[in-house]
Structure 1
Amino acid sequence: MTIIGWVQIALVLGCALLLAVPVGQWLAALANGRLGALAGVDNAVLRAAGVDPARGQGWQAYLMAMLAFHAAGFVLLYAMLRLQGVLPLNPQGFDGIPPYLAFNTAVSFITNTNWQAYSGEAAMSHFSQMAGLAVQNFLSAASGIALAFAVIRAFAAGGVKQLGNFWADISRVTLWLLLPGAIIAGFLFIAMGVPQTLEASATATTLGGAEQVIPFGPVAFQLAIKHFGTNGGGFFGVNSLHPFEGPSALATSLQIILQVVIPFGLCLTFGRIVGDRRQGVALLAVMVGFVLVATLGIYAAEAGGNPLHIAAGVSPLQGNMEGKDLRFGQALAALFTATTTGASCGAVNAMIDSFTPLGGMVPLFLIQLGEVLPGGVGSGLYGILIFALLAVFVAGLMVGRTPEYLGKKVQAREVKLAMLAVLVLPAVILGLTATSLVLPVAIASLQDAGPHGLSEMLYAYTSAAGNNGSAFGGLTADTPWLNVTLAIAMVLGRFAFVIPVLAIAGSLAAKPRTPEGPGTLPTHGPLFIGLLAGVILILGGLQYLPSLALGPIAEHVSMIAGTTF
């Protein structure tokens, strides 16, 4: 680790936090429908769509609207991928995507997972990339933010049965946040050298005299929403490690900022809407604290290098550079990996399969904690609020009084639903991983044996259920078994979690807000920040310790002993 590396990390995170302030303000305005000069245009758009924003929905109606919206999106995207060969803007002449892969990809993009069992430049036409995948990048992200708005309103209101209007929320987020943000970022990426063209490829002559076909296409604007919406599905198979997606350190830094600015900003939005900005700052402090600790863990592990290489004469100062972009070094790779796995983005600028065992364990564990640090756009906020409810419940047990959060009594119904939401991920991740590790059809997809092979399978289901989409590598994922089971994990990780969350929101919205009393636990100070971080670690992560011990921890011990897999 170097001083320059930490300066890079501090500058990028500092810029993200500064930008989160105006983003949080604008998100609060969108949630409250206070659009200023845009109000007239917004009203005209909603009227044309037949949406009355004043007509609120209860949690069941909000949920059904969201599910119907994504069901329609799945059908449309699946059909588009299967019919790719006869659709326009296909200069490469690609055929339609096979059924199992099309099913997995359609589920992946409607759930904001963006898992890629394909290589974009070798399988997807420009039409599929733009009209299919990029469109869902906007809509799945907007849906997550809309759900966050509904949950925030539940805490801010008292004695109401409505959480807002899903159609108005998703329209406003898409039109007045994601679209302009992606346009600005897209032009910045073009200025930095990212291609944006409808051409399929270029032919170049190498120094050795051979001809090389270099694929490209409309990369810049998909790159923008890929990060701004914490989607992660790249135009190229190697994602941001490709020089067209990561042409410079400045472009890489902008990608990091984009993938955390909305999750950070939503914390501040929460504080604004509930009337106590300290509440949002407390949640933000937990998120940033985990990002810093995760970055430190990855950076230290990769800078320390592989002891087998050091024993063979490699300088320990070089650290582990395998699978990383030599132009950017370990600092940006560590911060990018920590934020992309913590933020449910899934983009990569370094191959996690090539990390040291402990360096690869950190992003795996971040996803397993529930994708709340800082989590995806929207999903990170409502996910950490579930842990906040459990934190005040634990505190209430210790002092013997009914727990409260922001003046809302947290009772048996809310706690049961919160635990149901928290248990979704471990049930899906561990259940499907264990099943796959005893089935020959699934084991055949593993590249490596021993604990490293276990990590490959565990990471795949963790990434799918956590709606992250990043890959550990070394896994042949385009098989019927993995395409189907990973898609099931994505659906359960997104929607089986959302159902109890919205049920909690509906229950809390109906309760009146009561003023704080002398025995109320303050939920904005260092004590609560520490308690919340501890609850996330214990309730969110403890159940994965045995699997981590059998995977990356065992591999680390074996590596020290001189054994590799």
Structure 2
Amino acid sequence: MSGQAWLQLLALVAAVAVGTRLLGPYLAAVFGDEEQAPGDRFFGPMERFVYRLCGIDPDQEQRWTGYAGSLLAFSMLSVLGLYALLRLQHVLPFNPTSAPSMPSPLAFNTAVSFVTNTNWQNYGGELAMSHLTQMIGLAVQNFLSPMVGLCVAMVLVRSLARRRIALVGNFWVDLVRGTVRIFLPLALLVAMVLVSQGVIQNLHGFHQVATVSGGTQSIPGGPVASQEAIKELGQNGGGFFNANSMHPFENPNGFTDFLQIFTILLIPFALTYAYGRMVRDQKQGWVVFGAMFLLWAASVALITGMEVNGSPQLTARGADQVSSSVQSGGNLEGKETRFGAAGCGLYAATTTGTSTGAVNCAHDSLTPMGGGGALINMMLGEVSPGGSGSGLYGMLIFALLSVFIAGLMVGRTPEYLGKKIQAAEMKLVVIYIVVVPLAVLGFAAVSVLMATSKASILNAGPHGLTEVTYAFTSAANNNGSAFAGLTGNTDWYNSTLGLAMLVGRFFLMIPVLAIAGSLVRKQRVPATSGTFPTGTGLFAVLLTGVVVIVVGLTYFPLLSLGPIVEHLGL
């Protein structure tokens, strides 16, 4: 890596550390049990207006079952509303590009995708979407879908902090408070910065301009900066343009690229500090932070290292991949020269580790192990550091599994933050861990056997298997990035990928809420000499190891037949 790339990485780590320390206490105050929260004088009237408008009693908390019911009802209504908007956009206003009605299978896939925080795109945004759909459909879900994940995480954290009570919070209050006090102010600030750097923000359609060669070119317009800001802050990834963050209207320069990476990482890492503050044991938060950071750093090292070193096949054909004063070096196939191989590796590691489908390079053009690193990142369950809320509750599920394993080793009932982890919780943990691999492996297996689905695979052999595996891993883990070699806009893939998204979102959230409902009723037991300490570096290493081992045991055969054998074939 060049000195500039190292400087960018170090600056990013410093910015994330500072952002975690500054934003973490604020997040804890917003979702904590204290009556007063920062900004009550400014945000309070807005929240009370929404409560009155929607008939919400902010003082009425729910059991986990009621919370889950509200969450599912809200999400299903969101899917139906967005589906209807996509089907009817051709007759609605603010459609300067004359976007047609979206076909039913694609509309289903897209609606599910944005409501589940996946943001998978089997379409070209600037051609397939009206401005109205982009603004009140996709951008609105970019605010709400990460908030749903954040709500679930806060329920699990409250269950660990509270004792002997059946109530876990109010879904509608959590949804409103998080949107009004966290995402809206941050998105407004980031959008203004993006506009200042050249990200477009208007209601124009296509402008036809003359080129220097005498031809014509269509220049797109649209409300891009407002969607781009929340696309990154909420770990969404659905780009306004088909090229996503490779497009200069979405990502004009190195500063905006750095800002996007930072905003993607900001909330997931800051939530670890908020977690420590809410359970009144800051060491617990730093342990989770440390495990997430180790996994993220490892993925950055793997993907960036592979891309910077380049492809031996390109070298054998005479391509110069050496870094010099006139070129960034490395594997530049599918890369933006503005960001280079190192910038692509850092961005890809960040987005695939945070359930963010954004890309600033073509993932299908990554080296076999570079693409494999992105694939492994998603297979980890989006915990490195994961999405808004989903990363935290995913890592806490692995923490429960880790203390269970530690309890087996010392021969006593495992405890986490003084709460005994018993059979009921472990059954739900197992469900959480096996559901997504079943969806990924099941759908991928069928897709490489059926003739109709095999026709969508561009590349034969190991890379084709990786393309299919990547698609279902991305969908089931609610990431949204893709290998472009797979033609996903077919009835089969639109339907099965949509189902994988639903499974990966709600079949995980319900067990998490059930675990929270069980833990919140338990009394804390005092620590003894036999209690395994969970606020230490040793537990951070154990937690990281458990994540890696579980993923390795689950997916290693598939990885061996895909990116590993392709890499060995170079």
Q: TM-score range by the shorter chain?
A: over 0.9
Partner in structure 2 of residue 282 of structure 1? 287
The CA deviation string for residues 99-154 of structure 1, in whole angstroms up to 9 with x for no partner, is: 01000000001100000000100110100100101111111011111111111100
SS in 2 for 1:213: strand
Distance 1:47 1:314 in 2: 65
- Stretches of structure 1 that go unaligned for 5 or more consecutive residues are 560-565
Partner in structure 1 of residue 392 of structure 2? 381
CA contact (8 A) 1:372 1:384 kept: yes
Q: Bigger shift: 438-447 or 6-15?
A: 6-15
Distance 2:316 2:387 in 1: 41
Partner in structure 1 of residue 354 of structure 2? 343
Partner in structure 1 of residue 28 of structure 2? 28
Partner in structure 2 of residue 511 of structure 1? 522
The answer to whether 1:404 aligns with 2:415 is yes
Q: Which amino acid aligns with 1:341?
A: T
Structure 1 segment 467-546 matched on structure 2, within 5 A: 467-546=478-557
Shift of 1:547: 0.5
SS in 2 for 1:91: coil
Distance 1:223 1:4 in 2: 25
SS in 1 for 2:218: strand
Pick closer, same or farther for the CA change 1:284–1:88 going to 2, 3 Å.
Answer: same
Distance 2:205 2:563 in 1: 40
Which of 166, 182, 190 is residue 185 of structure 1 equivalent to? Answer: 190
Q: Which amino acid aligns with 2:77?
A: A
Partner in structure 2 of residue 111 of structure 1? 116
Q: Which amino acid aligns with 2:383?
A: V
Q: Which amino acid aligns with 1:34?
A: Q
Partner in structure 1 of residue 325 of structure 2? none
Structure 1 segment 122-141 matched on structure 2, within 5 A: 122-141=127-146
Shift of 1:448: 0.7
Shift of 1:526: 1.3
The answer to whether 1:449 aligns with 2:460 is yes
CA contact (8 A) 1:422 1:540 kept: no
Structure 1 segment 354-433 matched on structure 2, within 5 A: 354-433=365-444
SS in 1 for 2:569: helix
Distance 1:37 1:349 in 2: 36
Structure 1 segment 217-366 matched on structure 2, within 5 A: 217-317=222-322, 318-366=329-377
SS in 1 for 2:219: strand
CA contact (8 A) 2:152 2:512 kept: no
Distance 2:36 2:422 in 1: 33
Q: Which amino acid aligns with 1:248?
A: N
Q: Which amino acid aligns with 1:6?
A: W
Shift of 1:542: 2.3
Q: Which amino acid aligns with 1:89?
A: F
Taking structure 2 as the reference length, what is the TM-score of the superposition?
0.97
CA contact (8 A) 1:9 1:331 kept: no
CA contact (8 A) 1:302 1:319 kept: yes
Shift of 1:313: 2.4
Shift of 1:216: 2.1
Distance 1:458 1:48 in 2: 45
Which of 171, 177, 181 is residue 166 of structure 1 equivalent to? Answer: 171
Q: Percent identity?
A: 49
The answer to whether 1:38 aligns with 2:43 is no
CA contact (8 A) 1:455 1:551 kept: yes
SS in 1 for 2:358: coil
CA contact (8 A) 2:380 2:547 kept: yes
The CA deviation string for residues 225-255 of structure 1, in whole angstroms up to 9 with x for no partner, is: 0000100000011110111111001001111
Distance 1:298 1:215 in 2: 32
Shift of 1:289: 1.2
Distance 1:116 1:17 in 2: 32
SS in 2 for 1:203: strand
Pick closer, same or farther for the CA change 1:274–1:410 going to 2, 3 Å.
Answer: same
Shift of 1:295: 0.5
Distance 2:122 2:158 in 1: 38
Aligned length: 559
The CA deviation string for residues 487-510 of structure 1, in whole angstroms up to 9 with x for no partner, is: 000000000011111111100000
SS in 2 for 1:83: helix
Q: Bigger shift: 199-208 or 232-241?
A: 199-208
The answer to whether 1:440 aligns with 2:485 is no
Q: Bigger shift: 261-270 or 22-31?
A: 22-31
The CA deviation string for residues 277-312 of structure 1, in whole angstroms up to 9 with x for no partner, is: 110011001111111111110111011111111122
Shift of 1:34: 3.0
Distance 1:357 1:233 in 2: 25
CA contact (8 A) 1:8 1:331 kept: no
Shift of 1:95: 1.4
Pick closer, same or farther for the CA change 1:280–1:205 going to 2, 3 Å.
Answer: same
Q: Which amino acid aligns with 1:23?
A: L
Shift of 1:330: 2.1
Shift of 1:211: 0.9
Q: Bigger shift: 262-271 or 44-53?
A: 44-53
- CA root-mean-square deviation: 1.1
Q: Which amino acid aligns with 1:467?
A: N
Q: Which amino acid aligns with 1:439?
A: M
Q: Bigger shift: 497-506 or 303-312?
A: 303-312
Q: Which amino acid aligns with 2:414?
A: P
Which of 76, 82, 103 is residue 77 of structure 1 equivalent to? Answer: 82
